[in-house]
Amino acid sequence: MFSKFFFKLFPPPKYLNIPYAGLDISDDAIRCIEYSEHRNGYTLKKYGTRNLPQGIIEAGYIKNVPALVQELTQIAKDLRIETVKVSLPEERMYLFKTEVPDVDEDQIRQNIEFKLEENVPISASEAIFFFDKMPVSLSKGKIFASVSVTPRELVDSYLGALKSAGLTTVSFEIQAKAIARAVVASDSTETVMIVHLMNKKTGLYVVSSGVICFTSTIPWGAEQIRGKNLADIPDMIFSLKHEIERVYFYWSQHGEGQKIQSIIVSGRDATVVSQISHLSPDPAVELVVADIWQNAFSVNHYVPKISFEESLDYATAAGLALP
């Protein structure tokens, strides 16, 4: 049954607690974080990165399964991890908003299943989806749901590689949601934009009360700016500013009155990007560099053995590792 398969993969039940390692698998690297429980929250127990040779994963698709299994096996051995929560590649996800009756979750799920094929180019039988109720007031008895959809074969390919590496997968989750869990305060009801820099791409996500409402990706990332003077890459800076403005003004018109109140920059070289002048399209919208630990611990009480700069690259894994 589709719904039963869904529940096995998305997202972990509330009763599941740490330790489960967060495993961020991207085209260029595998990043991992595991926490330990502490009376004041959590402490960083393990972290590590294993860079992937080019061609193992391309645009989110596994191209060389044996090579990926070997890399997963090695990082599992190095960090002594067994049970993981894993992110799914953003570029292989489809996101749409739909109006549904405000009923129980099983009925909402059935309602969304009927709408899948009119919103994404995947048949219901070949898709796995996840939804969140959006914090928007509608007419009585109606709500908006934010729906994320991915091909079932993609999930199967990652699940098979992880199993072959001796890892038990507790859940899969879209990358944007894992990042938001790390960099947006858990009690926040604000609407924010996250700008997350990866090696070869940059993701822009609108998050409201913890719900992913909009995603966009531009095809360049930290690799193109690392070690360069910002004055020497005006085209890339223009591209980033333009996409931030596009998302900001799109959401201003289509966000059901939920205005973006801040922009959070995370990922590789986030501190460098945050220095770009006038990156925020509105002087009233504050731009800040992410604190990926805020929902795990306060650095005023516990300082992890990883630099702030390096930690920014672990936003996805840090969010996955949280309950």
Cβ atoms 176, 90 nearer than 8 A: yes
Beta partners for residue 37, in sequence order: 42
Q: Does domain 185-300 have CATH number 3.30.420.40?
A: yes
Q: Which tens digit of pLDDT belongs to each residue from 30-68?
A: 999 999 988 778 999 999 999 999 999 999 999 999 999
The whole-angstrom distance between residue 279's C-alpha and the CA centroid of its chain comes to 22
Backbone angles phi, psi at 59, to 5 degrees: 50, 35
Q: Do domains 92-151 and 185-300 have the same CATH topology?
A: no
The class of domain 2-90+153-174 in CATH terms is: alpha beta
Rounded CA separation 306/182 (Å): 16
* Residue 307: predicted pLDDT: 94
Q: For residue 140, which amino acid is it?
A: K
* Residue 3: predicted pLDDT: 40
Domains of the chain by residue range = 2-90+153-174, 92-151, 185-300
53 by DSSP, 3-state: which? coil
Cβ atoms 270, 198 nearer than 8 A: no
Q: Which residues of the chain have pLDDT under 50?
A: 1-8, 14-15
What stretch of H or E contains 225? helix 222-225
* Residue 4: predicted pLDDT: 41
* Residue 18: predicted pLDDT: 53
* Residue 138: predicted pLDDT: 66
* Residue 126: predicted pLDDT: 94
210 by DSSP, 3-state: which? coil
* Residue 6: predicted pLDDT: 44
Q: What is the CATH number of domain 92-151?
A: 3.30.1490.300
Cα distance between the two ends of the chain: 26
